Amino acid sequence: MEEVIVRVAAEVNLTEDEGKVEKAVANVFDGVSVEIKPHFKGSLLVGITQGRDALVRFRNLLRSERIRDAARRALLRGVGRRSIHFCLNKQVAFAGHVSFCEEVAESPLGPLRVTIECENPRLLIEWLAERSA
């Protein structure tokens, strides 16, 4: 199987608990190694994990919440040559669910910014969010 690298970044506002932002990431992706860096308005959480296994929880959430078709559209909008970029609502992720959002405005505390690097993004999307019908 091809190499998969998942990168997650999220601003941690001064009013937020860093541990809760880490939990939001862990609720969606497995095995993320997290680093907290100082940032102009609080701190920045940067996480990385590798392998398709890191995406199993995310894939299962898409299936159990029955949002594969919507997820497929969101993922396809973010396809690059060798990557997929999308944003998730941080508060919803903390609650153990998935909600795609825009870079700004839809997530009051800021989104989880996710980039998945892989050889064939479209094939990975097929695995993550296969058509439901």
Q: Which tens digit of pLDDT belongs to each residue from 78-109?
A: 999 999 999 999 999 999 999 999 876 666 78
Measured between alpha carbons, how far is 91 from 112 in angstroms, rounded to an integer?
9
Q: What is the mean pLDDT of the chain?
A: 92
3-state helix, strand, coil in the chain (%, to 5): 35, 30, 30
- Does residue 133 fall inside a structural domain? no
Residue 29: domain span? 4-128
Number of separate domains in the chain: 1
Domain of residue 54, CATH code: 3.30.1440.10
- Is residue 113 domain-resident? yes
Place of tokens 């541990």: 19
**Predicted local confidence at residue 49, as pLDDT:** 96
Task: Say what the pLDDT of residue 107 is.
Answer: 66
Which is more confidently placed, 133 or 131? 131
Task: Categorize the per-residue pLDDT at 47 as very low, low, confident or very high, splitting at 50, 70 and 90.
Answer: very high
Whole-number pLDDT of residue 2: 72
pLDDT at 84: 98
